[in-house]
Structure 1
């Protein structure tokens, strides 16, 4: 990635920024469920953290007035998912991807002016360990329908015993009747 000087990424590689987050949301396909299950994903022991990104500011023309204005945009850096995120982000065109989660020290280093291409390559090879990632299912994050009474948008939601726990692909077996 670093050496490919023809890519757009290469041209904006020095426009580094950090996106402040308290977590991200990701969907998991679960056998036996009609819809994918949304999960809140964060870093263990951190109420907030930063995800590295690249930004650009382009000059655009207002089609009605002809005036010039600046339009800023950014893109979050992602990588191949670690074991836990592969389990959560297990379907779709970009399955097995995850944001480039970093330690606090590496987050701060991401925006240093002195960061060179070789240094950035080290960032891209950093993998947050699975045990450093916290996750829990939530009710819904995209629906326009009102949530049922008492559902808090980003709070833990109990989908019942059919939802497998991390590390097990199949839901827990139903207890057989003793009678």
Structure 2
């Protein structure tokens, strides 16, 4: 997955006074706003580290819980494949005990173009204008927090653009995903699936997106 884009205040302004979307976005606003955010940047996310919903700010790029020195992390753990996270040493403990969500207004993805050097950027968002709630895994260290985003196979809308997509949760499923008492991955495995096609819209962009593009 590529960049994510958050304009939290604009999203809050569009919502009514009640409901999960407003609750979680208000928490995100407390963690600081961001726009056009890329891997390695500090981004706010929501978790329940002690059974209480909390807004944290951490590096996009997981530093697993067993790491004792950030210099130990050689790879870029920006994304985690949902299909194998329960078996991978970098992700399996977090999938059991340290799940989070990253609400965003949308995300960018790049479609390869045959015969072209540059890729075609797309802006992916919900059709109803509400935020996407992306499932993630996080870790806390004395030097700070970090997280990764879970990905799954693409739905019909995303398949022509990319062979992966983020795991986008239904708001009704977020409390179960965050629940630290559910330590068996099987209890949340059914949530790690492509979201319905009709949730999303994809808009081709006519100009480059920032200075960062995935290889």
State TM-score, norm by structure 2.
Answer: 0.52
Deviations along 1:5-34, one digit per CA (max 9) or x if unpaired, are: x62211222111111200000001234644
Alignment of 1:23-42 (within 5 A): 23-31=106-114, 33-42=116-125
Q: Which of structures 1 and 2 has the bigger CA Rg?
A: 1
Partner of 1:97: 164
Higher helix share: 2
Does the C-alpha gap of structure 1 residues 3 and 72 become closer, same or farther in structure 2, counting only changes over 3 Å? closer
**How many matched pairs?**
126
CA distance in 2, matches of 1:81, 1:128: 9
**Offset from partner CA, 1:18-61 (integer Å, 9 cap, x none):** 112000000012346442111110122142131111111123xx
The counterpart of 2:94, out of the listed 4, 9, 12, is 12
Written as runs of structure 1 = structure 2, the 5 A alignment for 1:136-151 is 136-138=203-205, 139-143=207-211
| Pair 1:133-2:215 in alignment | no
Counterpart pick for 1:81 among 151, 154, 158: 154
Q: Which runs of 5+ in 2 are unaligned?
A: 1-83
**Residue 134 (structure 1) shift:** 0.8
SS at match of 1:108: helix
TM superposition shift of 1:140: 1.7
The CA RMSD over aligned residues, in Å, is 2.2
Q: Which runs of 4+ in 1 moved over 6 A?
A: none
TM-score, reference length from structure 1 = 0.62
Preserved CA contact (<8 Å) 1:16 1:52: yes
